[in-house]
Structures are given as structure tokens and as C-alpha cells.
Amino acid sequence: MSPAATEAAAPGQTPGAAQRLEAALAAQQAAYLRAPVPGYRERRADLAALARLLAENREALVEALNRDYGSRSRHETLFAEIVPALDGIRHARRHLRRWMRPQRRAIDLMLFPGARNRVLPQPLGVIGIIVPWNFPINLMFLPLAAAFAAGNRAMVKLSENSRHLAALLVATVPRYFPAEKLAVFDETGGVGVAFSRLRFDHLLFTGSTDTGRRVMAAAADNLTPVTLELGGKSPALVCEDFPLRTAAERILFVKLLNAGQICTTVDYLLLPRARIEEFGALAAQIVRQRYADLATHDYTSIIDARSFARLTQAIEEARVRGARVLQLLPGAPWDEATRKLSPHLVIEPPGDIQLMQREIFGPVLPVIGYERLEEAVEFIRARPRPLAFYPFSRRRATIDQLLTQVMSGGVCVNDALWHVGQHDLPFGGVGASGMGQYHGAEGFATFSKLRPVFYQAPVSSMRLLWPPFGRLADRMLDFLSR
């Protein structure tokens, strides 16, 4: 996520924020103790209410995000937020009975026969969810679907850049859920500090790597387990054999979705050096076919003035440092009033400039040439493990080689981003890009205690090993230790 994706550890604290959060947590914990394991019907009803909240307030949610961004494509909000959230909830409802079923496990030889092993998936209790501004509906409702499927209660903290959405949800959620089931909080100044210090049973944070470290440190005081969905610089690697127009069409769609403000977007592109000029020409052609100009409603604004200034300064730094900068839409490169930034390619940037040192979170794509595939692999491996990796090749052996050599949180082969929308695939980072995972069955498991239970037989075979030890014990232990 962007460096400003969430303010979970911002300095300062609204008076009374900690007390309000503590009171909400205490109410949810008390409700959990009264009914610690909701049944199948109750969980399905919670998921149905979550879906109704989305569907019945769809237009208000779209407009709230549009106001938070200044200009947010309606189609992008529906396509990337509302639709996948509803689909994820439906997926959880379809599979819930199977997920809840106790699991049989094998019995060790020494305790056979008659004993049994089971794993019981049970709710953890109260889940904390810290939501970033870039896809706040998606990144609130999909974790909630997993938490409610697992039988938990939840508290949600939204970003300071989601003020209109937060106000809408704070007013709307109580019509669908009691506060002891779901409570939503706006970021009014330092709320995230107090939130991340609460004694949750599990805390899910989505945001930047730097803020993730601070959230994890705050949670450590309570030994609260965390799932960290962070970010990093996710690369696309186009191999010599892959059709360049197809790669350009797919990469640019993902790169410009939400104006590049996605943690799993293509952060830089590795391309055979001889094909860079062709890619630049194709990119300009494709972008001008899709977006007439910066004023179009189909193209989203940068979230705030600080992020806008950071991006324009990064482009200028690249230009001054000798990189070739290609503006892909005609006219002004950006519009400060609307915070809309023309898509740019930055060809062969120096490795120490801002665009190559931090997650970009904007419609700017660095393009780095390579001569040999091994060179491209080493370029990626020399950097922190990314949240996603996007290899493009028609050769299965090449893809298998790249999957073996490059570690990342997730992979989308011959495209970008779409692995995130597969509800039967886990989503999560690795190393600096995060820890833990959710979505689908893995989300249910993350927010459950997979509780091991051993059932002793009416007559325990362990009687044969009670002291005083004799010849029978010697024979049994000799046999078992061979």
C-alpha cells in the first residue's frame, strides 16, 4: 500500500478515542463470552446482512468514494470494490458448512485403538481490521466476510482519507448489525494508535510496510497475532516470446486502474531492451484509445495533495537524473486542481531515485531493459520480496523456471492482478510484503482457532506403560523405537 495508506500509528490522539475503543471492545468481548460459538444459521445470516448492506447502499457508497477521491471512476468502484466484495461474501456462504465441519485426524500408533483425534474450527473472538483508503470497501468487506464466516465479532478502523465513506458507514452499519457484532470507527486523529494497541484476538492491517512494522510492534505488547497485508514493488517481467501488444494491453489496464493506487499493481516492468521503443509506442496508442484526456470520469484522481506532489516530484527527479520520461496522454502532464496525473513511462531510471526506491502508488511505470533472462531475475531477487509477481511467457518451462527462482506473495501468469480476485486462492505477502493470508478457506482458517481435540478410548492403551515398568513395557518400547 502507499506510504499514506493508513494512519494506524500516527502521532496524537483524539481525546476519548481510547476510551471509546476500549468500551466497544469490552462490549464485543462480553457478547462473545455469552455466545462463543455461533451456529451455521447465525453465521449465514451475518453474511447475508453484510451483502445487503453493500447492495442496498451501493449508490451511496459509490458517491462517498467519489467525494473522498475528488474524482473516482464509478465503473472502477463497482468493478474493483462492490462486485468482488459481494462475490467473496457469496463464496463464503456457499462453502461455510464445509469449512465449519470438524476435521478427522489420524491417531498415533501408541494410542490405537479406540481413541480419536479431531480439529474443531472455533471463533477467535474479536477481530480488529485496519482499512486503507485505496480500496476501502473491498478491504473492509472481504476480511469481514472471513471473520463472520469464522463466527467472530469485528471492529473496523477506516483511513483519514476515507472521511465521507467512514461517515456513511458509521451511520449505516447500525441498521444491519448491533455494535457488539460490528463497530466502525473514523480516523479523527490518532485513533489508529489506540486501535492497534487494543487486546484483539487477531488484528488485520493493510497498509505500508513502514506502518506495518509499527502496528506489529503495538500489537506485540498484547501478544495479539497479526496478519499484515503490505505492499512493495511488484514487477512484471515480459519474456522475448510473449506478444508485446497483448502484454502492453494487459499491463496498462492494471497499471492505470485506480490511477495506479493499488498495492498489487505493476510497480515496474522488465522488458527485453530491444523492445522498449516498441512498447513505448504501443503504450501511447493504447492509453489514448482508452482515455481521451485527463478530464474523463473514467480516470481516477490521486487521493490527496500530498500524494500528488510526491508523484510529480518523483517524475521530475527521474527527468533531471537522466531517465527518458514519456507522457502517454497529450496536453498538460497533470492538473493540480483535479489531482489527475497523465500516465507516464520512465525509461531506464537510475536505481537510487524515488520511483525505484519506494512503492509508486500512481500512474507512473518505470521500464527497465534486460539482455538475458537471468539478468532480469537477479534484478528482482536483489530487492525485497514483492507482494505479487507477473511473468509473461508462452513457454511453460520458462514460467516454471521463473516461479522457482522468484519468490513473491502471489503470482498472476501472463496478466496482472487477477489472482487477487480469486476467492479460492489465498491472498497474502511474504517477507517485507506481509505475513499471513486470507480470502476464502484461508480467511476462515486465519480467523479461527483450529483447535486440536483428543478423545481417549474407554480403555486406555497407555495403561501398558504405567510404572512400575516390566518386560511388557520393555518389549513395547523396543518395538516402537526401532
Catalytic residues: 229, 263
**CB distance 114 to 102 below 8 Å:** no
Label residue 366 exposed, middle or buried (CB < 10 Å: 0-12, 13-18, 19+): buried
Distance of CA 395 to the CA centre of its chain: 30
- The edge-to-edge listing of strands for the beta sheet with 344-347 is 324-327, 344-347, 364-370, 268-272, 235-238, 388-392, 410-411
Contact of 409 with 429, CB cutoff 8 Å: yes
Cα angle value 16/20/23 (rounded, 5°): 140
- The C-alpha atoms of residue 320 and residue 333 are separated, in whole angstroms, by 16
CA angle 472, 477, 478 (to 5 degrees): 95
- Beta carbons within 10 angstroms of residue 122's beta carbon: 16
Pairing, β 103-105 against β 116-123: antiparallel
Residue 138 to residues 82, 145, 154, 276, 359: CA-CA distances in angstroms? 7, 11, 16, 35, 20
Burial class (CB in 10 A: 0-12, 13-18, 19+), 146: buried
Name the one residue in this structure whose C-alpha cell is 502492453. Answer: 248
